[in-house]
Amino acid sequence: VECTDDDDEGDSSSRRVKELLLAENGLVGMVPLPELALLERLEVVDLHGNDIVGSLLPEAFASGRLGELKYVDLSGNEGLEGAVPEEMGALSNLEVLFLHDTALTSRMPPSVCDLRSTALADLWADC
């Protein structure tokens, strides 16, 4: 976990989580997306190679939540299922998205595929 200070004085009350790197860490259960959405400065989520189950909740991406995300890797979580939410297309800063080796539906929403024409440089999923 990497944190950043928002001010020059290092006031710990202004610290924000910037990176969540928990790949191949033996995590079991659902992705805590509602809680992750509270991390307004979060740029990197790497949870690949765990035993994450459930679905990606659309409301976690609504209203600009998680809008700072640049890198998301949820690959290798075979219990992750359902559709990729259309709301993920609002992640305008997203550069890398890895969703392979999951049980998510094979087609990406057009809004996510459209990100390839802007910031998204690396998409490991079908459009």
Domain boundaries along the sequence of the chain: 2-124
Report yes or no: 114 and 89 within 8 Å, Cβ to Cβ.
Answer: yes
Q: Model confidence over 25-75: pLDDT tens digits?
A: 999 999 888 888 889 899 999 999 999 999 998 888 877 789 999 999 999
Determine the Cα–Cα distance for residues 97 and 127; give it in Å rounded to an integer. Answer: 12
Structure tokens at 46: 């790497």
Q: Which fold has domain 2-124?
A: 3.80.10
Q: Give the model's confidence band at 4: pLDDT under 50 very low, under 70 low, under 90 confident, else very high.
A: low
Quick one: average pLDDT of 94-102?
Answer: 91
User: CA nearest 81: which of 50, 115, 106?
Assistant: 106
DSSP 110: H
Structure pTM? 0.83
DSSP 107: B
